[in-house]
Amino acid sequence: MTQPYLIEFPKLGDSSIGFISVTEQLKNIPFEVKRTFWTYYTPESIVRGRHAHYQTEQVLVAVAGRIIVTTEMPDGTTNVHRLEDPHMGLYVPPHAWHTMQYSHSAVQVVFASHAYDEHDYIRQYDQFREIWKA
């Protein structure tokens, strides 16, 4: 089973003129993007996510601020990733329980492999553990 991993996007430019980072279909992101969304103005005390997907793959990017992403795989492997550089993304595979905590100024862009479908979500942690129990 694929584990979450960091993706480095190209960082073009320099500090005197600024930077641009890009991705093209299937170049840096390992799936065809079917949905893109962003989160912002999330209070620092709020933990978002708290779910897993049956099928959806995602790449999370902190385009501003800091996001702490905790992932747990069905085998119990957990990782904590600190996203705070807009040219770095975190690949989150299907079946990964994930939570996010944001700095107040954080803006997160998410690239997803599937359109929104409520049936693709596992929203209860106990259910997540039960589905993939060894």
Asked if 95 is an active-site residue, the reply is: no
User: Could you write out the three-class secondary structure of the chain?
Assistant: CCCCEEEECCCEEECCCEEECCCCCCCCCCCCCCEEEEEECCCCCCEEEEEEECCCCEEEEEEECCEEEEEECCCCCEEEEEECCCCEEEEECCCCEEEEEECCCCEEEEEECCCCCHHHEECCHHHHHHHCCC
Question: Of 51, 95, 114, 119, which is the active-site residue?
Answer: 51
What are the phi and psi torsion angles at 125 (to 5°)? Answer: -60, -40
Distance, CA of 20 to chain centre? 20
Query: Active-site residue numbers?
Result: 51
